[in-house]
Amino acid sequence: MSDTPEYVKNLKKESVVQSVINCLTDAMRNKQLKPGDRIPPEPDLALSMGVARSSVREAIKILSYLGVLESKRSEGTFVCDGFKESMIDPMIYGIILNQDSFENLMELREMTETGIMRLAILKYDESEGRALEQLLERMKSVIHCGENTVDNFFQVDNEFHDMISLMGKNPLADKISRVVRTLTYAMRYETVATMINSGRGEELLAAHSQLYETLKNRNLCNLQQTVRDSYFGEALHSDGDETHNA
């Protein structure tokens, strides 16, 4: 690209994928990108932002998953023009275009996940507990097999937390939990990638094992701390340097 779009200059020092997402959604909120606009091709965006093309691709995939962007074969990727039936929920679109601070989002996530865990403990069912244990075993297999580890682990990680949400047997709480997990998709993925790629996969397993044992033993003591510990002490960031949690 000969001219760098103004919104690219606003790229922040945080998770690379989350930075790209924020850069694009900031541009939408500021009307620099409007519904129906075509965004630059992946290679051009990556070059302008000074990031890897894979990071741009992942960000576009997430925004497409949210229903914010849509890809048209042989034409490119465009800002969605209005709501689509395939969108997860208009609520998500509204939140992502009116982003609040990272700290507020993390507080919401911690509050939501602690509440979901409490419901799941109070309504614990042995058969559901066994299903959760099977997911934990799948996580162990992924860590120990070593093939496509990050993507495979992240997939099972989502199934694990979705199962806990279902164990709460409250459709409204489950809906809110899924919305929050969708909004934190990029940061959660990056944490899994960082932990596994740095050889800390066993710590990921230990964190999920602790959540499982807490549920199995119906332990309501220090529940908020148990949830917070599963974030590896990285729930907050400062000075624009964002850290993440799984």
Contact by Cβ (8 Å): 69, 192: no
Whole-model pTM: value is 0.62
Q: Beta-carbon neighbour count of residue 10 at 10 Å?
A: 14
CA angle 183, 234, 56 (to 5 degrees): 45
Going 48 to 52 to 53 to 58, the CA torsion angle's sign is negative
The pLDDT value recorded for residue 135 is 96
Residues of the chain with CATH 1.20.120.530: 101-229
CATH number belonging to the domain at 6-90, selected among 1.10.10.10, 1.20.1640.10, 1.10.260.40, 3.40.50.460: 1.10.10.10
The pLDDT value recorded for residue 167 is 97
The pLDDT value recorded for residue 85 is 41
Residues of the chain with CATH 1.10.10.10: 6-90
CATH number of 101-229: 1.20.120.530
Sequence length of the chain is: 246
pLDDT values of the chain reduced to their tens digit, one per residue, 246 residues: 446 666 665 554 457 888 888 888 888 877 888 888 999 999 999 999 999 998 899 889 888 877 788 888 889 999 987 655 444 455 555 555 555 566 777 888 899 999 999 999 999 999 999 999 999 999 999 998 877 789 899 999 999 999 999 999 998 899 888 888 877 887 788 888 888 988 999 999 999 999 999 999 999 999 999 998 888 644 334 333 433 456
- Taking the CA atoms of residue 52, residue 56, residue 57 and residue 62 in that order, the dihedral angle to the nearest 10 degrees is 140
